[in-house]
Structure 1
């Protein structure tokens, strides 16, 4: 008996960009996976912690969310990363699907 319903099972070749940045206090290494899945938003992964977040430039404006997702205690650090992501990630407006 099948206990689950498969919603999707896709295979795709994706572009991945690796970027290392420094702020006044820390170094960050990110992998950004660009795919057609997830409404076109890149999956951003912090290589030090393994924490990932689907994010576009508009999402990067939310500094408090960046702090929570990537466990950044210093608000100024999160603001610096917010600026970096707003310059680096694609701009898009995504309507909520659910």
Structure 2
């Protein structure tokens, strides 16, 4: 007996970009996966922590959100990453798909 409902099961070839950057305090390495899923938002993976999240340039403007998802204690680190993601990630006009 099946106890779950499969919502989707898709395969696609995706573009992945690996980007390394530094702030005054920390080095970061990110994998950016560009896919047709998730309404155009790239899947960002922090290579140091393994944390993954969906993000576009508009999302990167929310410094507190960045601080929360990357579990940063320093707001200046979050501001630096916000600037980095705003110029690195694409813009999208799609509203959020999921609710916190």
- Shared topology, TM-score over 0.5? yes
What is the TM-score when the length of structure 1 is the normalising length? 0.95
Residue equivalent to 1:42:
42
**Could you tell me which residue of structure 2 aligns to residue 89 of structure 1?**
89
The aligned counterpart of 2:31 is 31
Shift of 1:8: 0.4
Moved over 3 A (4+): none
Residue aligning to 2:53:
53
Residues 96 and 71 (structure 1), Cα distance of their counterparts in 2 relative to 1, 3 Å cut: closer
Query: TM-score scaled to structure 2, two decimals?
Result: 0.94
Q: For residue 62 of structure 1, report the CA deviation from its aligned partner.
A: 0.6
Unaligned runs of 5+ in 2: none
Aligned alpha-carbon RMSD (Å)? 1.1
Unaligned runs of 5+ in 1: none
